[in-house]
Structure 1
Amino acid sequence: MSESNKKPLDWYENRANEIINNPDGSVTYVFDEPPIEGEEHPTSSTTISKEDMERALKNPAHLV
């Protein structure tokens, strides 16, 4: 992801409809998306690595 698309961790926490803690220590955030013709419940997701999660938890200003 480019630097311009990165956001603080609380942005993901506040907007995600589902948060999945993965076995490798990464976290996946799932978001509802606007309806698309032919899709019943469109979603998108982003996964943040364990390393980025650790940095963001120590420093809330860290962008992930």
Structure 2
Amino acid sequence: MEYVNHLKLQKACQFLMFTPMRIKEITIEIGMNDPFYFSRLFKKQMGMSPKTYRAKRKEHEEAEPKI
């Protein structure tokens, strides 16, 4: 079960980084039903909320020099 959740969270990270999808939409897309449970699980595994993860990733991309 833990491995399955790990795979779901990896997929969620991709959605957070590369799409404008809402947390609820990502939750459904990765096969979970409860966005609150997803957010708690994400924070437990990743050390930050999905919203913070997306913001930090976006911040990181903006800081990188474009070639």
Q: TM-score range by the shorter chain?
A: 0.3 to 0.5
Larger radius of gyration: 1
Higher helix share: 2
Considering Cα pairs closer than 8 Å and 6+ residues apart, tell me whether 1 or 2 has the greater RCO. 1
